[in-house]
Structure 1
Amino acid sequence: MSRITIPTIESATGATADIYSRVKKISGGRVPNTYAALGYLVPASLAAVLDVQSALNSGSLSRQEHEIIKLLISEKTGCDVCVAAHSFVGKLVGLPVDALTAVREGRSTGDVKRDALVRFVSQLHTTSGTISEDEFNAIRAAGYTDIQLAEISLTIALGIFTNTFNRINATDVDFPAVK
């Protein structure tokens, strides 16, 4: 059970009600538990998350690439809520279940560009300091541009924010369970 108790979505007022309304418009009428808690506690933080996601959605990385990054970061961070969410959304944006499983298990997905992205994000997550020239050259050789490297960084940052909050809150998983 989530550690932070929030009132019902329907009882929200003011900025919280406004941000919940915005979430419902983009998520098929529901407010996921992570967003419900963030919207209740700091509506501006949820607005920032939505704004960042909107900017990323209009960027040059595909929705599949964003979901791969978020799933990988969530798996490595140990956020069961986000692993379930990004596995679910990953399927919705057309990622095969076996590719999602491979990302979570650290295996090849069978797609050279996707695997290069997974290796790069894994390196960023598990190391410190400036990445090596070899790592930089490998992601560029896979076809990623300077703009996309910035988008990858922002996607990682957004994932770490929600992962961290969910780990603090012990947010209830409200997406289908992942095997």
Structure 2
Amino acid sequence: MSRLSVPNLESNTGPSGQIYAQIKRTIGTVPNTFAAVAAHGPAALKSILAADAVVATGTLTKRDQEVIKLVISAAAGCDYCVAAHNHLASLAGLKPEVLKRIRDGQPTGDTQRDALVGFVRKLAQSSGTVSDEDFAAIKAAGYNDAQLVEISLAFATTVFTNVFNRINDTEIDFPAVA
């Protein structure tokens, strides 16, 4: 059971209720993490959703976006976000065996994806500090300057949800990860 209370999503008509309605129109349901953030900080959730919308309209593929979020979540040990981004990555077309390799830090056989996984993992492990070699490797893999901004923004929003879900012990409402 999550630590923070969440009001009835259907009867809430305040600022949180407006956000719940928007999320339901967009994705059909309100994930537990969004419900809890909006219940106690609707402006915080709005800012995270706005940042995620910026990443979504960028040039990173949906697969890359979810790979980034899955790597960060696995590095942080956030079971909720690992389940969520594993599921969303599978919806973006990544196979279960590839997702397991990503979570376990093993090569997937896709050079560009493996470069992204390695770069993001280094970001997570080093609090964002990367060497000249790390920078050269991600650039050599084909990621451009604008995509490095998108990677950074996806990283930042995921760290927020990782930390929040660890504080809240958010009840997982995505398929379990084996």
TM-score range, shorter chain: over 0.9
State the Cα distance separating 1:16 from its structure 2 match: 0.8
1:24 and 2:24 matched: yes
What does residue 14 of structure 1 align with? 14
Q: Deviation at 1:167?
A: 0.1
Deviations 1:127-154 (A, max 9, x none): 1474211111100000000000010011
Please name the residue that 1:71 is paired with: 70
Asked if structure 1 preserves the Cα contact closer than 8 Å seen for 2:33 and 2:165, the reply is yes
Alignment root-mean-square deviation, CA: 1.0
How far apart, CA to CA, are the structure 2 residues paired with 1:129 and 1:167?
A: 20
- Per the normalisation by structure 1, the TM-score is 0.97
Q: For residue 2 of structure 2, what is the aligned residue in structure 1?
A: 2
Structure 2: stretches of 5+ with no match in the other structure: none
C-alpha change, 1:5 and 1:153, in structure 2 (3 Å) is: same
Question: In structure 1, how many angstroms separate the alpha carbons of the residues matched to 2:161 and 2:126?
Answer: 20
What are the Cα deviations for residues 51-91 of structure 1, in whole angstroms up to 9, with x where unaligned? 11111110010110010010011111011111110111111
Q: What is the aligned partner in structure 2 of residue 118 from structure 1?
A: 117
Corresponding residue pairs, total = 178
**CA 1:130 to 1:90, structure 2 compared with 1: closer, same or farther past 3 Å?**
closer
Q: What one-letter code is carried by the residue in structure 1 that aligns with 2:168? A: N
What residue in structure 1 maps to residue 162 of structure 2? 163
Partner residue of 1:55? 54
| Deviation (angstroms), 1:22 | 1.0
Q: How far apart in 2 are the matches of 1:127 and 1:17? A: 38
Q: TM-score, normalised by structure 2?
A: 0.97
CA distance in 1, matches of 2:127, 2:97: 30
- Name the structure 2 match of 1:41: 40
Q: What's the counterpart of residue 145 of structure 1?
A: 144
1:133 correspondence with 2:132: yes
| CA contact 2:122–2:128 (8 Å) conserved in 1 | no
Instruction: Quote how far apart the aligned CAs of 1:13 are.
Output: 1.7
In the other structure, the counterpart of 1:178 is: 177
Distance 1:83 1:26, change over 3 A: same
